[in-house]
Amino acid sequence: MLPTRRARSDLLLLAVSLSLAPSPGLAAGSEVPPELRTRAEASSFRATSTYAETLDFLGLLQARSAYFQLGAFGTSEQGRPMPFVVVSKDQAFTPEAARRLSKPIVMLQGGIHAGEIDGKDALLLLLRDLALGLHPAVLERVTLLVVPIYNVDGHERVSRFNRPNQDGPEAGMGFRTNASGLDLNRDHLKLDSAEARALIALVNAWRPHMHVDNHVSDGFDHAWVVGYATAEAPQAAPSIDAWAKANLPPVAEATRSAGHPIGPYLELLSNDEPLKGAITPPYRPRYSTGYFALRNRPSILIETHSHKPFRTRVLGNYTWLGALLEQVASEPSALVEAVAAAERRTVALGVADAPASDVALRYGPDRDDPAAGGCKLLDQTIARTKAAGGIDILGQGTGGMLGVGHQPSVERALQAVAEDDIHPGAEDDERGRQEPGVDQGQAGPDRQAPGRLAHSFRT
Ligand SMILES: [Zn+2]
């Protein structure tokens, strides 16, 4: 049946109001041109943008703003160009030009685990806001290096069932690993994958002052939407740790005040006994969170809560990223100086006749001692640097010699984990390679061993 004239005009009004919906970041009454709505927005957050749609969208932003440049930093194993965006009011679109500015270079990354894709959709909203004139202080004082989809091949391997415990996007999401089954968030040191080699080459060229890695959690249930963690001292250099402790709490508060519940990213002390509590562990350098700490950068992990709806997660993620950039822009020299101080310290520790320093070669929390709340260390190998070069192995240690069994600022031993909130999972092997066919970040109930509660908590 054809609509009546009245119905047609109502439909027209509806279409106009939908196409000019305000951006979540724009003031009330401000409008987003229809072509600058992201796929997530246009689909009412039923879908995430494809690789091609993402490139098209970034191309539109580049055409609109003289401060955007879209490029590729490598080629994936299946031959896809790996996109990145530089946002610079100075048009400092090369590493050399950007480093000459003495402004902080902030690297924001989405889709290292391509099924956990909220970060990309949040980054597209944030980049759109910047192109429309929001966050003027950020544009003025910070250079952005944005990798919207790191694992581009995994991103295009779409299924609604790749992460069965994740609440959307209901139209489907990409896959955890690259085309060879390698988990890129286990590949920062061995660099087996073409993608990781390209990413580290990008980092080596640009030397960003901060790295932010966006994920979605694997099922630990809690009230808050946005989980976050960062490497702390002694894993992080003292100046980096001080920067994070001064600057991340205001970011969390701004996110919370904007209506997005936020809390720590946690892992269970025991996968079999969730009531033992939870910690935020120090991540080894094969993970991004450990790798960028090793390179003397604030290394920030975001994990939106997989049980929350896609829209809720993306908007929380986006609000957090915007607040973080505003915080950096409020005192840009503080970040640059913190990184410079950390690098000077590393060089000083390595020169001839440097005072000996202790380093933990291996460490881990005592997951079997609930009284210690994960704070007691075991399996700790301590080495001491020698003035003439090299190291002496001092032997095994236990106790809090270096205090690296957990991230100290995180509340220990949260006891509120209900057993029926726990979902089963499976561990990857040491090389980070996984079986084909299932995103093992979230294995389904059929993988649960009878009579056993298990869980995989991954970043
Ligand atoms: Zn992840």
- The CATH code of domain 23-344 reads 3.40.630.10
Q: What is the mean pLDDT of residues 228-251?
A: 92
Question: Measured in angstroms, how far is the CA atom of residue 227 from the centroid of ligand 1?
Answer: 12
Q: What percent of the chain has pLDDT over 70?
A: 71
Q: How far apart are CA 184 and CA 200, in angstroms?
A: 11
Question: Measured in angstroms, how far is the CA atom of residue 82 from the centroid of ligand 1?
Answer: 19
Question: Measured in angstroms, how far is the CA atom of residue 40 from the centroid of ligand 1?
Answer: 20
Question: Measured in angstroms, how far is the CA atom of residue 106 from the centroid of ligand 1?
Answer: 20
Each residue's pLDDT tens digit, 66-97: 999 999 999 999 999 999 999 999 999 999 99
Question: Measured in angstroms, how far is the CA atom of residue 63 from the centroid of ligand 1?
Answer: 32
pLDDT reported for residue 394? 59
Ligand 1 ion local residues (Cβ < 5 A): 113, 116, 215
Q: How far apart are CA 253 and CA 271, in angstroms?
A: 31
Question: Measured in angstroms, how far is the CA atom of residue 152 from the centroid of ligand 1?
Answer: 15
Q: How far apart are CA 368 and CA 29, in angstroms?
A: 55
Question: Measured in angstroms, how far is the CA atom of residue 240 from the centroid of ligand 1?
Answer: 24
Closest CA to 380 of 367, 399, 358: 399
Tokens representing residue 236 in the block = 């992080």
Each residue's pLDDT tens digit, 44-67: 999 999 999 999 999 999 999 999
Instruction: Judge contact between 120 and 149, C-beta under 8 A.
Output: yes
- For residues 287 and 399, which has the higher predicted lDDT (pLDDT)? 287
Question: Measured in angstroms, how far is the CA atom of residue 336 from the centroid of ligand 1?
Answer: 28
pLDDT reported for residue 281? 75
Question: Measured in angstroms, how far is the CA atom of residue 134 from the centroid of ligand 1?
Answer: 29
- For residues 365 and 214, which has the higher predicted lDDT (pLDDT)? 214
Question: Measured in angstroms, how far is the CA atom of residue 289 from the centroid of ligand 1?
Answer: 11
C-alpha 362 chain-centroid distance = 25
Question: Measured in angstroms, how far is the CA atom of residue 441 from the centroid of ligand 1?
Answer: 7
Question: Measured in angstroms, how far is the CA atom of residue 118 from the centroid of ligand 1?
Answer: 11
Question: Measured in angstroms, how far is the CA atom of residue 66 from the centroid of ligand 1?
Answer: 33
In the chain, domain spans: 23-344, 353-397
Contacts 24+ apart (CB under 8 A), 415-419: 415/275, 415/277, 416/222, 417/220, 417/221, 417/268, 417/274, 417/275, 417/277, 417/278, 418/221, 418/274, 419/274, 419/275, 419/453
Give DSSP secondary structure letters for 335-392.
HHHHHHHHHHHHHHHHSTTPPP-EEEEEEEE-TT-GGGTT-SEEEEEEEEE-TTSSEE
Question: Measured in angstroms, how far is the CA atom of residue 192 from the centroid of ligand 1?
Answer: 18
Other residues' Cβ atoms within 10 Å of the Cβ of residue 211: 23
Q: pLDDT tier at 2 (50, 70, 90 boundaries)?
A: very low
Q: What are phi and psi of 94, to 5 degrees?
A: -115, 155
**Range in 131-135, 168-172, 374-378, 418-422 the model is least confident about:** 418-422
Query: Token match 């990184």: residue?
Result: 339
Question: Measured in angstroms, how far is the CA atom of residue 303 from the centroid of ligand 1?
Answer: 7
Is the pLDDT at 258 greater than 80? The verdict is yes
Question: Measured in angstroms, how far is the CA atom of residue 206 from the centroid of ligand 1?
Answer: 24
At CA 40, angle to CA 11 and CA 258, rounded to 5? 100
Q: What is the mean pLDDT of residues 8-30?
A: 48
E strands of 110-207, at which residues?
A: 143-147
Question: Measured in angstroms, how far is the CA atom of residue 434 from the centroid of ligand 1?
Answer: 14
Q: How far apart are CA 126 and CA 318, in angstroms?
A: 7
Predicted model pTM:
0.81
Q: What is the mean pLDDT of residues 268-272?
A: 76
Mean pLDDT in the chain?
80
Question: Measured in angstroms, how far is the CA atom of residue 457 from the centroid of ligand 1?
Answer: 9
Which residue type sits at 152? V
Question: Measured in angstroms, how far is the CA atom of residue 176 from the centroid of ligand 1?
Answer: 8
Is the pLDDT at 413 greater than 60? The verdict is no
Each residue's pLDDT tens digit, 331-358: 999 999 999 999 999 888 878 777 777 6
pLDDT reported for residue 361? 60
pLDDT reported for residue 435? 52
**Range in 80-84, 283-287, 320-324 the model is least confident about:** 283-287
Question: Measured in angstroms, how far is the CA atom of residue 290 from the centroid of ligand 1?
Answer: 14
Question: Measured in angstroms, how far is the CA atom of residue 315 from the centroid of ligand 1?
Answer: 18
Question: Measured in angstroms, how far is the CA atom of residue 77 from the centroid of ligand 1?
Answer: 20
Question: Measured in angstroms, how far is the CA atom of residue 349 from the centroid of ligand 1?
Answer: 34
Question: Measured in angstroms, how far is the CA atom of residue 126 from the centroid of ligand 1?
Answer: 21
